[in-house]
Structure 1
Amino acid sequence: PTNRVFGRFIPDKQSQKAELLTGGLDLMRDITADDERLLASNTDLRISSTSSKQIMYITMDAAGRSANKAMTDIRVRQALMKSIDRERLINTFVAGGKSAERPNSVCFKLTVACNPTTKPLGYDPAGAKKLLAEAGYANGLSIKLNAYAPIKNIAVAVAGDLRKVGIKASIEPLPLMVYVKKRGAGKFTAFLGKYPTAAQPDTENLLNFFFGANRDYYKDPLINGAAKKGSTEFDVKKRAAFYTPALDQVNKMSFIYPLTEVPVVFAHTKEVEIKPNLQSSGEIRVGDFFWK
């Protein structure tokens, strides 16, 4: 049996990887998709992907709060969504992407009172170009895609897909406190971020996060009304009935692209086994690690 587990603070990912490869570490977490592929080829190591219920998303300024008003046109929002090759993006750039849940709206299947009946628009670059032309952007348009700094690589990949249909997106990666301030001030035309839904796994929390206070870039009365009604209902089935039209409205109006769950991925020696946490679908604790 293992009597003690020691944690080491090593800020640099390359140093962590070097320690793992030379026997200085038994495991490391939050590896990149590239490192996942590289380390998986090492016969002495194993890769374990665990559910986090952290959602990665793209929001669009449908209400016209930012200086660039392009996203107030639903055709432009639809074009942006249709331009993104979701499966390629997830499988190539998201570590653990093959096992990640693809949410149908701004909540997951295990989120309380989450029951959308629709899905986000699928990949259709030809359709995206057609929509842009209909919206008056036959020659393309330029936007700024702000992004949470730790997922800048995903933003770059998204920008690559957008460029193929005529949307030139300049990337501005931002640390947490800076993006919170800019978001509240209405500075985002489009934003790529992520949010830990497992901390409060309830649709009420997700609707408040995306549509509450100064985070609301949509000003949609149907969504705001449904969120208000559902927040006062204790019966889960009745609450879900209130929330379903709001979750479907997100897709109908192409307000937010719920890209993917972001798994927690560990690289570890073959002597280590990581088991799912029995108390939470989105947490990993020391007691979930076992040494053979």
Structure 2
Amino acid sequence: MRKKSGMSNFISLSLALCLLISVVISGCTPEPAKQEPAKQEPQNDSKTASSKYGGTMKIIMSDTLTNLGYPAELRSNVTFYYNQPVLESLGRYDKEGNVLPFLAESWQSDPQNKTITIKIKPGIKFHDDTDLNAEAVKWNIEQYLTAKRPEVNGIQSVDVIDASTVRLNLAAWDSGLLEAVAYYVKMISPAAVAKNGKDWAILNPVGTGPFKFVSWEKDVSAKFKKNETYWQKGKPYLDAIEYTFIREINTAANVFKTGGADVLTQMDPDMFLELQKSGKYTTWTDDKAFGTVGIGLMFDTINPNSPFANVKVRQAVIHAIDNEAIVKSVRRGLGFSTNQWYKPGLWAHNPDVKGFPYDPDKAKQLLAEAGFPNGFKTKITTDPARENLMTAVQSYLAKVGIDAQVVTVDSAKWTALTNDKWDGMIMFFRAMAPSTLTTLNRVISKNATLYGKNILHPDKVEQLLADSRNAPDFESSKKPLVELQKVLFEEYALAVPLIGLTTGVATQQKIQDLGNLTTNGNDWTPEEAWIKK
């Protein structure tokens, strides 16, 4: 039985779109991307395209934006939400979690010869009127290779077969690489970068999407206008999209409630429940999507002088925190306790993981065995959105003798630290699916984009990741990833899984076909959205 503890009422802001990167709530993580042409799902609304009103849709966001147009150097997947009106990828997730061709027309995997061949749809142009062709796709993939991104790790070379076909030559077969390339490699204009430079491209996205970039004023707004020559004929329906950046949650909610914005995607549980109860807005959660995120803590295990270099200390920290109480009080029930990366019901969840249930007495015992009978001082680094959640964690750790100072930095600084080094613990933000292998590689492998420079990389972990990558098919790749849950979160206790978030979106009732929280958490459908008169 887990012991319960009362919690004070405080707010924890959650991302509705997560990061990172990327999480199945119901259903399964997808098989490798299907080798078939893209299919456009029919719209639920019976109105014809000609009757779908355009107008300007205004969206409130709270996260700091630092890179809008050069995705090879993105460090936070939440930016995928910001640049989706402009930048597109070769594949896109459907509602079942499968990656289907999008800018690509088709693809073919050949495990025996260690190749992936991708055919690009004809006639698609970037916003600068240059062609999306095989050379452009090759260039974009090579930008990721140059940046040493784990999503493309294992690609030995990229060949242009003809004007619309590229072939990826792999050093060894990787069962998750097609999905990673198809989703994570966002296409930007090589000509625009060659003409203006990378620094310019970071601030000025040039893609193939339904909207063209207009302006970006840091921490104020980002604006986009309709792409009149978009490759999907008759779309988009909106005339323009505007993001307004408001960090303070009550201010953001008030702007939304007074009609100053059409979409509110980032709010605390109390605010979401208030908007839902009012009946004045369209609200929904990600219960049927696979884009939810998990929040936890990552230790600085690579530092031999850190208390967290000792596995018993890491186990003690997990024992000290009452996950379920945090879900009930801080999250108002909008979430779930986790003892590993995933929740029960998902294929990658390992039922054999027992973890370290809430037990402060056991935590104290482990600290004493590790040489810290009186506890120790440490830090928890977090972004502003998760500050109050980390304050809840701080209060539990204090009860077992761990004096943890909560250090709040802006989102850009937090993201930078996850790709460098931090002192003590850092807020661990994880996508729980759908690209399980890709996501794990991005976070815990030696080549990880996030966290990897400051954590241990046990041989057992690396071997299980390799076993999954080298599997000839999806079914064979599952077993190592399921086993990895026990190794990561029980044997080595490399991170505190803590909780998964159930997040929500609220829109004015006139907004239609937004597409939030229906597939992957960072995705929506700007080309399908419209405003009802």
> TM-score, normalised to structure 2's length?
0.47
Decide whether the 8 Å contact of 2:303 with 2:454 is kept in 1. no
Q: Which residue of 2 aligns with 1:209?
A: 443
Secondary structure (helix, strand or coil) at the match of 2:244 reads coil
Indicate yes or no: 2:372 matched with 1:134: no
- Pairing partner for 2:271 from 27, 31, 35: 35
1:237 Cα deviation (Å)?
A: 2.3
Q: Which residue of 2 aligns with 1:153?
A: 388
Decide whether the 8 Å contact of 1:26 with 1:268 is kept in 2. yes
Q: Which structure has the larger Rg over C-alpha atoms? A: 2
Decide whether the 8 Å contact of 2:327 with 2:336 is kept in 1. no
Q: Which residue of 2 aligns with 1:92?
A: 329
Indicate yes or no: 2:53 matched with 1:3: yes
Is the deviation greater in 163-172 or in 274-283?
Answer: 274-283
Cα distance in 1 between the residues matched to 2:55 and 2:328:
32
Q: Which residue of 2 aligns with 1:193?
A: 428
Indicate yes or no: 2:313 matched with 1:76: yes
Taking a change above 3 Å as real, the CA distance of residues 80 and 291 of structure 1, as seen in their structure-2 partners, is farther
Q: How big is each residue's C-alpha offset from its partner over 1:184-238, in whole Å with a ceiling of 9 and x where there is no partner?
A: 443332111313455x612243144223234351221110111122212132222
- Pairing partner for 2:460 from 216, 222, 225: 222
- Pairing partner for 1:258 from 497, 506, 514: 497
Secondary structure (helix, strand or coil) at the match of 2:479 reads helix
Is the deviation greater in 270-279 or in 224-233?
Answer: 270-279
Indicate yes or no: 2:413 matched with 1:178: yes
Decide whether the 8 Å contact of 1:211 with 1:217 is kept in 2. no
Cα distance in 2 between the residues matched to 1:101 and 1:279:
19
Q: How big is each residue's C-alpha offset from its partner over 1:43-102, in whole Å with a ceiling of 9 and x where there is no partner?
A: 53464222423222211233325x5x211222211111111111221233347x53x454
Indicate yes or no: 2:300 matched with 1:61: yes
- Pairing partner for 1:144 from 379, 394, 412: 379
Q: How big is each residue's C-alpha offset from its partner over 1:101-159, in whole Å with a ceiling of 9 and x where there is no partner?
A: 54452346787x72423143221122212222222322221111112343222111111
More helix by percentage: 1
Cα distance in 2 between the residues matched to 1:148 and 1:102:
21
Cα distance in 1 between the residues matched to 2:408 and 2:414:
9
Unaligned runs of 5+ in 1: none
> TM-score, normalised to structure 1's length?
0.81
Cα distance in 1 between the residues matched to 2:356 and 2:513:
35
Taking a change above 3 Å as real, the CA distance of residues 43 and 231 of structure 1, as seen in their structure-2 partners, is closer
Amino acid at match of 2:330: F
Decide whether the 8 Å contact of 1:204 with 1:227 is kept in 2. no
Cα distance in 1 between the residues matched to 2:390 and 2:316:
17
CA-based RMSD of the aligned residues comes to: 3.3
1:256 Cα deviation (Å)?
A: 1.1
Aligned length: 286
Q: Which residue of 1 aligns with 2:252?
A: 16
Cα distance in 1 between the residues matched to 2:530 and 2:493:
41
Taking a change above 3 Å as real, the CA distance of residues 242 and 81 of structure 1, as seen in their structure-2 partners, is same
1:180 Cα deviation (Å)?
A: 4.5
Secondary structure (helix, strand or coil) at the match of 2:504 reads strand
Amino acid at match of 2:329: T
Decide whether the 8 Å contact of 2:300 with 2:455 is kept in 1. yes
Cα distance in 1 between the residues matched to 2:462 and 2:257:
51
Q: How big is each residue's C-alpha offset from its partner over 1:258-285, in whole Å with a ceiling of 9 and x where there is no partner?
A: 2233343123456778897697243343
Q: How does 1:109-120 map to 2 (within 5 A)?
A: 114-116=348-350, 117-120=352-355
Secondary structure (helix, strand or coil) at the match of 2:506 reads strand
Cα distance in 1 between the residues matched to 2:328 and 2:531:
28
1:32 Cα deviation (Å)?
A: 1.0
Unaligned runs of 5+ in 2: 1-46, 59-242
Cα distance in 2 between the residues matched to 1:234 and 1:110:
25
Cα distance in 2 between the residues matched to 1:110 and 1:276:
24
Cα distance in 1 between the residues matched to 2:411 and 2:261:
29
Taking a change above 3 Å as real, the CA distance of residues 41 and 73 of structure 1, as seen in their structure-2 partners, is same
* Percent identity (aligned): 17
Secondary structure (helix, strand or coil) at the match of 1:138 reads coil
Decide whether the 8 Å contact of 2:437 with 2:468 is kept in 1. no
